[in-house]
Structure 1
């Protein structure tokens, strides 16, 4: 008797192990200083940790409401209205999610059907395209232009067809650290205005932006706001990426559909953490002071390598810095990235992994969300590369 294989056809046949896992495993094997993955190596605020313990001890250990604890949704609404002058109704327009990744996946799953097109701005974080493929959609790419990673809005507009269902943007942008300016967002608003295209705006680094610049959220622009899912991350903001806690805001007509999928994917998320965040967010300095906190780390890192052979433009946002290694070697970025780990004991992420056709920009991404001791060791090594 013959038996059929358990897996006859993969739904993601071209998806391999992520570059983050590959680099992380190699870094651990060679005991390298890990500036690759985007998480801090320092502790979160003890006040926040204590608030979580307090919530547990007070008995908030059962299911939270499906959309999230109302007190947390309420303070998120107040935060967004204060920062971006747009009101989201806590009742029907805000949902607490298992990190921003779940919010992004749920939004795509809710609206993307077979043969729908989704415009993805590249280089792009690697969770977008698999979600599109799983739902039968097609990713249509707009590649940012080097060396400043700016977007060509003429090309962007040309990529829109009658099959375009969604556009995904990310600002501040991972992996390049660039931000969309007010002008950029106005171009996007003008292009989408005559369409019924949904915008998915990944804004997980919303509170990490430098040199006095402003985060131009999709929430700030009336026509964008009425067609947008804006996804954000408490994990990135408060140095607790392992908590997988985020949120999503959208007009009620979109959010009602989103919640139909959300309730069967996760139903609800960690209750005591939601209670803690609802109190912690009442002090706005906990997120507004992040700009200065991370700018000090960025400037410390760049000052340490100022005499090196790397070229760079200071990152505008996120806690990532791109370094151009073209004065050291013209090799593929994956090759020099691997050698940096095995021979020099510093791990980074090659940008080609996120580009269309793995375009080699001679760039490596370094995460500076690390303590001073870690950054000192890294810059000492990087400064000696020739």
Structure 2
């Protein structure tokens, strides 16, 4: 078993990249989609079920886990992998985004951020140093530098100040992370939608020589067109021989567009959150199972899908259990969505290897353009 963290770029097709990340806890095939396990669980899923969908790695949330049940408690209980029964790689975010989006009465200084918990109002502080310590206690394989997620829209002066602070925090994160063989710290590029700020950020990060790099500050309300405009240049600013992670993305067409532009890793709550609210993603677009048109439909969500929801249950049943408020509804739809997202990743990996990514992408968009099957 490897005891180090490494990335191998195996093939390219245009800007799209096929690769492999090696960690002591297993291999991550890229492009990779990481299901989000916010509170040490992917909601409505057993860990072995998540693995069965094809996921090689999960994401855990530092902010949520530090508040409940606490990083020290998780460490005493054997670390996050043992705690949640997931022995494969885990990436933890730094907590910065959740502090900005969820916490009350937050105050940011050069040192870090003080805030009150959204759970019970208790006061906490997160700094680059404490974020590294919390993530060390959790035992995650890939650790994210502590940064400020720049809000959108942001005037250039505000975006520049925010990015510069994140770069200073990135250096402090690296120093606090120290030497941890088998674990990797990723730096996070910021700069909002401003190309020169993105370039400045990339240069600051690469001078610190991180094992991997994230593209932060996107999927925060700017819309797909603006996001793709940034992705047309931002990934190429980062080293070719390191993995590139687009944080918080996204919908199926966002994911395909990001991979097309050189992104290797993504995460999003969308497949699980949508599954719990009655939305399924299929090759032919989104299906709202709550709609009355499905009440008498004996067909599966997607006749070509091999997930348990499609193999064993009809649209009529899925409609019924959602309307009845039964837990199995969220379980089946989440499994289907995660399975579909992993099928997208597998399809792209095969297409990049074969040099047929452009044709694969055309077929992907054509199928989605057909829309859902006609009602019975």
TM-score by length of 2: 0.28
Which structure dedicates a bigger proportion of its chain to strand? Answer: 2
TM-score by length of 1: 0.28
